[in-house]
Amino acid sequence: MARQFTPKIVTANALLEGDVVYLTADDRWSRDLSEAELIEDEAHAQLRLLKAEGQRQTVVGVYLTDAKAGPNGPEPVHFREAFRARGPSNYLHGKQESANV
């Protein structure tokens, strides 16, 4: 039996600001992980990655990373992705700042 596919999201950094972004199901780049498209199929994941990699004037450093379904959309699996989704822990900067406005 084939190994079970761990769900994925497509993520990158925005070219101009460097902020962490996620590919949505409707082909936008969102700054919010919960809006990301949770990809449950390996072949679809590769297609979405290709699509994202084509957008070289919008994003930098595109990659697939593990995620899991949560009540409000995809959630990170690894702590690195949790920090990317949240921002630094010493100041309320980055995404935490915009959330505070």
Partner 1 sequence: MYKYADFDEAFVRSRAAQFRGQVERRIDGSLTEDEFRPLRLMNGLYLQLHAYMLRVAIPYGTLSSRQMRQLAMIADRWDKGYGHFTTRQNIQYNWPKLPDVPDMIDALADVEMHAIQTSGNTIRNVTADHFAGAAADEIEDPRPVAELIRQWSTDHPEFQFLPRKFKIAITGSPNDRAVTRAHDIGLRTVRGGSGQVGYEVIVGGGLGRTPMIGQVIRPFLKKEDLLPYLEAIVSVYNVMGRRDNKYKARIKITVFENGIEAFRAAVEDRFKVTRAEFSGVDQAVLAGIAEQFAPPAFRNAPEDGYEAARAADPVFRAWTDTNLAQHRAPGYAIVTVSIKAHGATPGDATSSQMRLLADLADKYGHGELRISHEQNVILPHVHKSDLPALHAALKTDALATANVGLVSDIIACPGMDYCALATARSIPVAQEIATHFKAIGLEDEIGQLKIKISGCINACGHHHVGHIGILGLDRAGVENYQITLGGDHTEKATIGDKVGPGFAYDQVVPAIERLVRAYLGLRTDRTETFIDAFRRLGPDPFKAALYPAEAERDAA
Q: What residue type is assigned to position 74 of the chain?
A: P
Q: How far apart are CA 26 and CA 21, in angstroms?
A: 14
- As a whole number of Å, the end-to-end CA separation of the chain is 50
Number of residues that bind partner 1 (CB under 8 A): 25
87 part of the interface to partner 1, by CB under 8 A: yes
100 part of the interface to partner 1, by CB under 8 A: no
69 part of the interface to partner 1, by CB under 8 A: no
56 part of the interface to partner 1, by CB under 8 A: yes
Tell how strand 59-70 and strand 8-14 pair up. antiparallel
Query: Least CB distance from residue 13 to partner 1, whole Å?
Result: 6
**Binds partner 1 (CB under 8 A): choice among 25, 27, 61, 69:** 61
Burial, 21: exposed, middle or buried (Cβ in 10 Å; 0-12, 13-18, 19+)? buried
Contact positions vs partner 1 (CB under 8 A): 13, 15-20, 56-57, 60-61, 77-80, 83-84, 87-91, 93-95
